[in-house]
Structure 1
Amino acid sequence: MVLKILGIALAAWIVLSVLGAIFKFLGTALVIGAVLFVGAAAYGAIKNRSGRSIGS
């Protein structure tokens, strides 16, 4: 009985540890993706502005 409870607790601990690592990675990937997106948008806006001709 005690071993069954310890086994369930161990399985739950492993599952929560794996989920925590996944969410930590996803949070880091989200920040990196947001920074890259803002950088690409800023680069596109600057490039588009410099490509305009003076007469238009």
Structure 2
Amino acid sequence: MFSWALFFLVVALIAAVLGFGGIAGTAVSIAKLIFVVALALFVISALVHLVRGRA
């Protein structure tokens, strides 16, 4: 999932360099959203692994 966030970040950078501000802004927003979701899923997964390891 982090690779998707990186992909959208690269798309945003390329769009910004080429002057497509709207597309760049949208791509950055999507990249941020995917990054936050991936980070949340990682934390949840780590917590579940910790709880299952103790039980």
User: What TM-score results when the alignment is normalised by the length of structure 1?
Assistant: 0.63
State the structure with more CA Rg.
1
User: What TM-score results when the alignment is normalised by the length of structure 2?
Assistant: 0.64
Give the corresponding residue for 1:25: 37
Give the corresponding residue for 2:8: none
The aligned runs of 1:1-56 (5 Å cut-off) are: 5=19, 8-43=20-55
Higher helix fraction: Structure 1 or Structure 2?
2
Provide structure 2 residue ranges, at least 5 long, that are not aligned to the other structure.
1-18
Q: Distance in 2 between matches of 1:19 and 1:42?
A: 35
Which stretches of structure 1, 4 residues or more, deviate above 6 A after TM superposition? Answer: none
Provide structure 1 residue ranges, at least 5 long, that are not aligned to the other structure.
44-56
| C-alpha RMSD of matched pairs (Å) | 1.5
Identity value in percent = 19
